[in-house]
Chains A and B, each alone.
Chain A
């Protein structure tokens, strides 16, 4: 590792320090709203207090690292694939939230994730996702009795089996 004489202030380091400080304040504020009910020893406030202090100290530590520019070298990233994966997750939440069921939701997630990783055949991927999601649903919901979200497709299987 080579020490460079010119070290730039790293805005990400400052942002991390800021987030930690906010977290410390939120915990301290939340803890101050608790009513103390413990007779002996320490109540439910002690641990949040310790964590809050710790986070505040670490916020300072990260701030110093940020000011010194003491963060690891970062690679260039492509934002678009990230947004596509997140879009797939958003679609998943929307479909499940509106009662579309597990199979449809995860098939969509599979297809959109595959697209984010560079696949160009969305329709085929959607079908693969549909097949995978159906197998997963049947194994885990029917065989292992887990409660997975039910939608129109799942009701068909529920009447079949």
Chain B
């Protein structure tokens, strides 16, 4: 019951009026960016980093968490109403949800998505409450070599195992790692890869890279293929309420979705795609209305949407307890902690319990706010979707400039923004994943620090990485995860999941 006492303590932090206000701003902002195509929570957090640099850490992090949860809710609205899911995590929702909207059942689809997100989000947040302290007790014994091995495993899973192509994923990762090298080496004060440009001594700004890749890259990509892929916005007709039958058909998929989402999100496996598609195929198999699948079955919205939210919450477990981000948004959250010189991990739970538990408690509050606000405000969100594309992307680029120049007011920073923007465009065009670049930039320097710490303790003997049983095991799993896609492709199992 230790965890519950800590949670109660955290609640007293989370319900302070200022923190409630920040949670509210966060969920509104998060829902808005989740609804809008072309921008998501990761980009929003990148833009918020320079803006919140002088804020109180607890308030800023509570707002970030609100954006994170809100983005998940908003993404489902877009997926249901215009069939262009903002993120891959909403792909499964769009399958049935958009069909329901076309059949005039958009209201119940939005409702089952929102309530399912709430149910699964609450279950998963309870999962964090009980799992985190337990993991922290284990993690406190980790040595630097164990952390390094854990990061290697995360690198492999986020870039190679679950992407379309391990080579392209790893290429993205290593570009991110290379960018992470730029700047002054903390331990020796030597400048690496700065080529005499003084602005590069501080390293590559996370905001500039993320905004360039996500905002500018996306704008260039969408501009290049304009006039195609214009999907119609389905108006929400009829009642928003779910009928008794809707409830009966939804509650089990919600729970199953949470059961898929949370563990997969909590493992350093990355990505909400797998649990959402697992949930979709499970519901398709278990449903009593198999004929409706493909034509708007409510189970196909309820399950994946619950899985999506539970997995987003699950991602916070490795982030908070180990400092290990497994998605682009989680990486941005980590950057948010770093901006206040806070390092998520066991020590943070010991040193700053109010901050950590305040943040976890605020997740419940954010979830509550979202389910209350989302359905009544659906008209507002739909209106956001009516913003003409030229103005939307013009506005996105104005905010992108604001964030970049606020992070570092110099023309060199803007030139970097354009370079990363072109890189983001080319990566989209040639199907290189974006998230591993961001994770490489943020996690690379941390992994390097752990490696060097491990090797200085062992007086330079690299065998230390294999002598710790945990580190050796993790590295072995990483190796398996690296070759697994090739073996799985042979048996065609991954393809079965995709279908």
Contacts and interface: CB of A to CB of B under 8 A. Distances in A.
Contact of A74 (B175, B414, B429): B429
A84 B223 contact: yes
B174 A55 contact: yes
Contact of A140 (B193, B223, B402, B417): B402
Contact of A82 (B223, B402, B448): B223
B69 to A, nearest CB: 23
A146 B47 CA distance: 12
B347 interface: no
Contacts of A40: 455-456, 459-460
Interface residues of B, number: 69
Nearest to B227: A118
A105 B401 contact: yes
Given A48-B181, A55-B178, A133 B226 contact: no
Interface stretch (B28-36, B110-118, B278-286, B389-397): B389-397
A93 interface: yes
A81 B394 CA distance: 13
Contacts of B463: none
B223 A109 contact: no
A37 B389 CA distance: 54
B225 interface: yes
Interface string A91-134: 01100110000100110011101111111000001001100110
Contacts of B187: 38, 43-44
B171 interface: yes
B190 A35 contact: yes
B220 interface: yes
A146 B402 CA distance: 9
A65 B418 CA distance: 28
A47 to B, nearest CB: 4
A109 B398 contact: yes
Contacts of B181: 27, 47-48, 51
Contacts of B171: 16, 20, 58, 61-62
Contacts of B406: 140, 146-148
B399 interface: yes
Interface string A68-100: 000110111111011011101110110011000
A109 B174 CA distance: 32
B89 to A, nearest CB: 21
Given A30-B193, A92-B414, A41 B460 contact: yes
A149 interface: yes
Contacts of A54: 170, 174, 177
A23 interface: yes
Given A27-B193, A42-B451, A47-B181, A78 B224 contact: yes
A125 B398 CA distance: 13
A92 B455 contact: no
The B contact surface, by secondary structure, is: helix
A153 interface: no
Interface residues of A, number: 73
Nearest to A65: B167
Nearest to B407: A146
Interface string A10-51: 001000100010010011001100110110111110111001
B228 to A, nearest CB: 8
A147 B409 contact: yes
Contacts of B51: 140, 144, 146
A130 to B, nearest CB: 11
Contacts of A65: 165, 167
A144 B402 CA distance: 12
Contacts of A55: 174-175, 178
Contacts of B50: 146
Nearest to A56: B174
Nearest to A31: B192
A136 B175 CA distance: 33
A139 to B, nearest CB: 9
Contacts of B453: 41
Given A48-B181, A92-B401, A147-B409, A71 B430 contact: yes
A125 B222 CA distance: 19
B418 to A, nearest CB: 5
5 contacts: A34-B190, A43-B188, A47-B177, A88-B397, A136-B402
Given A41-B454, A82-B224, 7 more contacts: A43-B188, A85-B397, A89-B216, A93-B411, A110-B397, A118-B227, A118-B390
